[in-house]
Amino acid sequence: MTYILGISGLYHDSAAALIRDGDILAAAQEERFTRQKHDARFPESAIRYVLDEAGISLSDVDHVAFYDKPFLKFERLLETYVATAPRGFASFRVAMPIWLKEKLFLRRFLVKELQKLSPDFDMSQLLFSEHHISHAASAYYPSPFDEAVVLTIDGVGEWATTTLGIGRGSELEILKEIHFPHSLGLLYSAFTHYAGFKVNSGEYKVMGLAPYGVPQYKDLILETLVDVKEDGSFKLDQTYFNYTAGLTMTNNAFAKVFGEPHRAPETDQLTQFHMDIAASIQAVTEEIVLRMTRAAAKEYGIDNLCMAGGVALNCVANGKILRDGAFKRLWVQPAAGDAGGAVGTALAAWHQELGEPSLSHEGDRMKGSYLGPSYDTDQICAELDKLGAVYTKMSQDEMIAETAAAIANGKAVGWFQGRMEFGPRALGGRSILGDPRSSEMQKTLNLKVKYRESFRPFAPSVLREDVSDWFQLEDDSPYMLIVADVAEEHKKPMSAEEEALFGIDKLNVPRSEIPAVTHVDYSARVQTVHAETNPLYHQLISRFKQLTGCPVVVNTSFNVRGEPIVCTPEDAFRCFMGTEMDVLAIGNVILRKPVQDPALKEDYTSKYELD
């Protein structure tokens, strides 16, 4: 029996994962325990959790694998600073103390931290994987495919920003790379910064804002900023960017291209210009990715595609890849960003360092991504009692019936069940749920529960067996990483006056029978719910369907803006009391807001740093 602990982090989104003989046992991000979003610190809490979940200590672990090779990354930083000198001095001065203190001597730092958990931990147990190998392994090895093209796209690892490889059986080989500073992830982040959102956090806001705009700057971007070849390979004109030498993503030349200054976060109003900019960079991203996938399908003649890296979280682009048909099947790692590197480096160590055979690709080797902590009824009640909560304990069937009725009656419901999800999406373990038929639910959840921008769309969770009746999708989408249009029979046509609306004015126009999850372009970020991986959530939606005839619920993550997704019953109760959620279903326990002690209410509107 061989245990391998995978670690990612020290840049952003630290995480830990544990595998046993190639089987993923547990995985979690550090932020869920520390309550600091995108926490980059050594993931001590996440490591303690995954070891506890398996009932072992670090002394029982055979190897610890890190998702990155720090010397290669340091080489890239030094070469970049030399190439851009003297312009890069400000960035150099900020980065060097951190590197010289811990990152350059990462092996020693990791050993020191691991020895706090097990004094006998030996440096020889420590393995390192290249960043994009970790991404590729996280995409291919848990996938349902014995053969696949593997595409990874992100900001930057050591040197690579994009890789293309082939997985066959236990073998995974990277065949092509695009290197820094040419990066699709950094291009998208540059526009995220320009639109006034936070880099490495706000990219999904740009994706959500794009349908409100028109991609009128697409050709300008392709003519000026990025040179794209037919096979999707590309180069960025560094004249317009500042990330190689400075402390910001873009420079004044970038702003002059579009004729508008950089938007100040939180203060400057979002205008039609910003919506058009979002639509344009989204269209450019889709164009580049589709060129890559079409060329790869043609060159290798393989039907299956696996994806990871931060850009693989662009579910709009993923939906277009699937509909394009160059590949018959698509599988995206649910923790596609850096956190997923913890899973990938552990699997790479198992298959590539140790040369072990691949496990069966049947079933879901990511286990629905339900890889985090769970709590039994006694633990839940003990925590709630300490907090002074008022609750009703009931049977599981009663809890499901009560929760489904609350959703059908228009209530905003906190749903805390089973193991916490690994990755950025809430998938029915730590979710806030609502009635998708309500035209007010999107606004209610955004403004009164999530405390976030009104334009942000919500995702539908739909029974797998009913997905094609409600959406233009025949495939599985268990990880909410594919966007598809609502089925024609459920759409509501817009009037001429509604069609003429611009920008955010489109928000309040109901577009379907499930308006709370239908975006302004009739699309939805679909999660298919499977009885095999989340039976309780499947039962809840089935009960809602019995009550309403609708097999869909609104699903958004259980947190407020800037807060990590809740992890413990205490986190859930505090978020419940800090927002205008109506009901909390936690294990077989139901809490109703009106009967709680008003003194326990918290002000969550400014509790967390805005993302």
Question: DSSP labels for 129-154?
Answer: --HHHHHHHHHHTTSS-SEEEEEEE-
Predicted confidence band at 84 (pLDDT cuts at 50, 70, 90)?
Answer: low
Between CA 254 and CA 262 the distance in angstroms is 9
Look at residue 76 and tell me whether its pLDDT is greater than 60: no
Are 291 and 410 contained in the same domain?
A: no
pLDDT digits (tens, 9 = 90+) for 193-231: 999 998 888 898 999 999 999 999 999 999 999 999 999
Position 14 in a domain: yes
Rg, Å, the chain Cα set: 23
Are 422 and 400 contained in the same domain?
A: yes
The beta-strand segments (E) located in 288-436 are 304-308, 329-332, 392-393, 413-416, 430-434
pLDDT digits (tens, 9 = 90+) for 358-386: 776 677 899 999 999 999 999 999 999 99
Are 122 and 235 contained in the same domain?
A: no
Q: 173 — phi, psi (to 5°)?
A: -125, 130
Are 344 and 393 contained in the same domain?
A: no
Predicted confidence band at 81 (pLDDT cuts at 50, 70, 90)?
Answer: very low
Position 146 in a domain: no
**Helix, strand counts (H, E) of the chain:** 20, 21
Are 325 and 359 contained in the same domain?
A: no
**Do 149 and 164 touch, CB atoms closer than 8 A?**
yes
Q: Mean of the pLDDT values across residues 62-89?
A: 65
Are 573 and 505 contained in the same domain?
A: yes
pLDDT digits (tens, 9 = 90+) for 502-524: 666 676 778 899 999 999 889 99
**Predicted pLDDT of residue 353:** 87
Are 348 and 395 contained in the same domain?
A: no
CA dihedral for 17, 372, 580, 206, sign (positive or negative): positive
Position 154 in a domain: no
Number of domains in the chain: 3
Which residues have C-beta within 8 Å of that of residue 171, sequence separation ≥ 6? none
Are 518 and 592 contained in the same domain?
A: yes
Are 122 and 70 contained in the same domain?
A: yes
**Predicted pLDDT of residue 72:** 57
Check residue 199 and report its DSSP letter. T
pLDDT digits (tens, 9 = 90+) for 572-589: 999 999 999 999 999 999
Look at residue 426 and tell me whether its pLDDT is greater than 70: yes
Residue 42's CATH number: 3.30.420.40
What count of Cα atoms within 13 Å lies in the side-chain half-sphere of residue 320? 17
**Predicted pLDDT of residue 88:** 55
Q: Mean of the pLDDT values across residues 261-265?
A: 89
Domain that holds residue 123: 3-130+339-365
What angle, rounded to 10 degrees, do the helices at 315-324 and 272-300 form? 40
**Do 356 and 22 touch, CB atoms closer than 8 A?**
yes
| Predicted structure pTM score | 0.92
Look at residue 122 and tell me whether its pLDDT is greater than 70: yes
Q: Mean of the pLDDT values across residues 95-100?
A: 56
Through-space distance between the first and last CA atoms of the chain, rounded to whole angstroms:
42
Position 172 in a domain: no
Are 396 and 514 contained in the same domain?
A: yes
CA dihedral for 290, 292, 295, 298, sign (positive or negative): negative
Position 607 in a domain: no
Are 360 and 428 contained in the same domain?
A: no
Predicted confidence band at 94 (pLDDT cuts at 50, 70, 90)?
Answer: low
Residue 420's CATH number: 3.90.870.20
Percent over 90 (pLDDT), the chain:
75
Between CA 41 and CA 4 the distance in angstroms is 20
Position 471 in a domain: yes
Between CA 412 and CA 432 the distance in angstroms is 7
Q: Is the peptide bond before 334 cis (omega within 30 degrees of 0)?
A: no
Q: Which of 99, 153, 157 is nearest to 129 (CA)?
A: 157
Position 450 in a domain: yes
Helix or strand or coil: residue 505?
helix
**Do 139 and 345 touch, CB atoms closer than 8 A?**
no
Predicted confidence band at 307 (pLDDT cuts at 50, 70, 90)?
Answer: very high
Q: Mean of the pLDDT values across residues 473-478?
A: 94
Are 241 and 298 contained in the same domain?
A: yes
Position 162 in a domain: no
The structure tokens listed for 474 are 């025949």
| DSSP one-letter string for 566-577 | P-SHHHHHHHHH
Predicted confidence band at 249 (pLDDT cuts at 50, 70, 90)?
Answer: confident
Between CA 211 and CA 219 the distance in angstroms is 18
Percent over 70 (pLDDT), the chain:
91
